Amino acid sequence: MKEQHSIPKGKLARAFSLAGAGARIGGNYLNYRMRRALTGQDGRETFHRRTAADAYATLSRMKGAPLKVAQMLSIDQTLLPDVYAKAFSQAHYSAPPLSYPLVVRTFERELGRRPDDVFDHFSRRAVCGASIGQIHRAEKDGRTLAVKVQYPGVAESLASDLRLIRPVAMKLFDLTAAELDYFLGEVRERLLEETDYCLERERAQGLAAACKELSNTRFPTFHPEWSTRRILTMDWIDGEPLDRFADRETDAGLRDRIGQTLWDFYHFQVHGLRLFHADPHPGNFLVRDGKLWVLDFGCVKAIPEDFYRRYFRLLDARRLEDEDRFEHCLSDLALLLPGDAAGDRELLRRIYRESIAILSRPFRTGSFDFGDPGYLEEIRAFGERTSTDPRLKRISSARGSPHSLYVNRAYFGLYSLMSRLRARIRVQLPAYLHAEEEEASVGG
């Protein structure tokens, strides 16, 4: 892969990069329309393939928030057409790496030394590149290490980048500025945290300690002596990325075991710790000797207790079946608003009930087969139907708590990975729901 020798810097340069991508996409669309008019052939697939490639090429050159958004979008296979999801998924670990002189500059600024002065050996070319930083392989005192080096200027350009991509997000999700800004603060906070590698190391070590009793789950050892806010050093783990493991033919029992491990890891974090790894893309997991290794803890989300209880009590089927209890839950989560018209409230209740019934299905049976292709297709079809419903488009989308943004993202990512693994797993409801049975029976 060709190395990148610079990153567009400054608001104006980065704005021009996005504008250039927009112009190329516009040109692609014009060529598509002209070709269809002249030949009668649709050519839509070629148009989307070129557009996805052009969009990714620009975002990968910019790094930072624009590339991170592309990475986030690729997690949910129900949100984007396959060609876009496939192109944007390269942001997980195949973004064009920065050239070695830029890496040296970061080391000199952060550690006061060049990489070769810190380590016995340091790969001049990155092993892989993602949205915020890239990984180099190093050796020190006989130990093989993975060294993550943050791209220059990523943290400084974050706020302006989010403003630049705001119009794109508004168009993509059909949101007004006010509706988008309702959630943008949560995205900004998480992305800023991802640029602080000291915070990532602390969270990784804390979650590893809390999850040490989980069967088949493993975590790398981190090395603070070779780490700063912009450099993070950990043990090198040889293993197979989770998507490659999932996509090849392998023993069904092993698939189920890895799927169960992944599910239990998230179940324990969300329902036990109220703190979870909020970036479930396949590049953050490796499979090695039947164990699941968890990497990259840059994006970690804490769940406030009051939100947790209000959100997950919707897994209680009795609340779905009782109209008054269900409406109370939706209002309590600000999914229904006091100013909603009666017809809108009825439509939203029906949509929310259908959505919750589909997404909570794995929790209701004690076991679930994510290998059923019909399940993910049902989620995809529901998302497509609701996103194009003109009645829903006219209803304000600024609903719910910003806390739900990363909880939803984690579960969409988890479901996508489980479906890719085609895993059959054991599932249980959160323990606190059983403790609430008496309260729920009287309509709490």
* Cβ pair 55, 67 in contact under 8 A: no
What is the percent of the chain where pLDDT is above 90? 46
What's the pLDDT band for 16 if we cut at 50, 70, 90? very low
Model confidence at 112: pLDDT above 60: yes
- If one counts every other C-beta atom within 10 angstroms of the C-beta of residue 238, the result is 9
Q: Among all chains, which residue has been given the structure tokens 């019934």?
A: 357
Q: Is pTM, for the whole model, over 0.85?
A: no
| pLDDT value of residue 129 | 75
| pLDDT value of residue 171 | 57
| pLDDT value of residue 83 | 56
| Least trusted range by pLDDT, from 204-208, 267-271, 435-439 | 435-439
CA pair distance 16, 24, nearest whole angstrom: 12
Give the mean pLDDT of 309-315: 93
| Core vs surface per residue 34-66: b (16+ CB within 10 A) or e | eeeeeeeeeeeeebbebbbebbbebbbbbbbbb
- The one-letter amino acid at 106: T
| pLDDT value of residue 430 | 87
* Cβ pair 336, 330 in contact under 8 A: yes
Give 289 or 21, the one with higher predicted confidence. Answer: 289
What angle (nearest 5°) sits at the alpha carbon of residue 208, between those of residues 409 and 193?
A: 50
Structure tokens at 375: 């399940």
Q: What is the DSSP letter of 47?
A: H
Q: Parse the chain into domains and list their residue ranges.
A: 11-94+164-189, 211-218+240-444
Average pLDDT, the chain: 80
What's the pLDDT band for 154 if we cut at 50, 70, 90? confident
What's the pLDDT band for 422 if we cut at 50, 70, 90? very high
Q: What is the CA radius of gyration of the chain?
A: 23
Give the mean pLDDT of 172-189: 68
| pLDDT value of residue 128 | 82
CA pair distance 349, 227, nearest whole angstrom: 50
| pLDDT value of residue 175 | 59
Please report the DSSP string for 240-291 in residue order. Answer: EEHHHHHHS---HHHHHHHHHHHHHHHHHIIIIISEEE----GGGEEEETTE
| Least trusted range by pLDDT, from 150-159, 160-169, 424-433 | 160-169
| pLDDT value of residue 151 | 85
Give 98 or 420, the one with higher predicted confidence. Answer: 420
Which residue from 99, 428, 370, 81 is spatially nearest to 252, judged by alpha carbons? 370
* Cβ pair 119, 166 in contact under 8 A: no
CA pair distance 329, 43, nearest whole angstrom: 47
What's the pLDDT band for 34 if we cut at 50, 70, 90? very low
Structure tokens at 230: 């912009």
**Which run of H or E residues covers position 294?**
strand 291-294
Model confidence at 168: pLDDT above 70: no
| Least trusted range by pLDDT, from 170-179, 225-234, 334-343, 384-393 | 170-179
Model confidence at 93: pLDDT above 90: no
Model confidence at 390: pLDDT above 70: yes
Model confidence at 285: pLDDT above 60: yes
Q: What is the pLDDT of residues 113-138, one digit of tens each?
A: 999 999 999 999 999 877 788 899 99
Give the mean pLDDT of 433-442: 55
Phi, psi of 294 (to 5 degrees): -105, 125
Q: What is the pLDDT of residues 55-88, one digit of tens each?
A: 666 666 655 555 666 555 554 444 455 555 555 5
Phi, psi of 70 (to 5 degrees): -60, -40
Give the mean pLDDT of 315-336: 91
Structure tokens at 98: 């920065």
Give 299 or 398, the one with higher predicted confidence. Answer: 299
* Cβ pair 443, 325 in contact under 8 A: yes
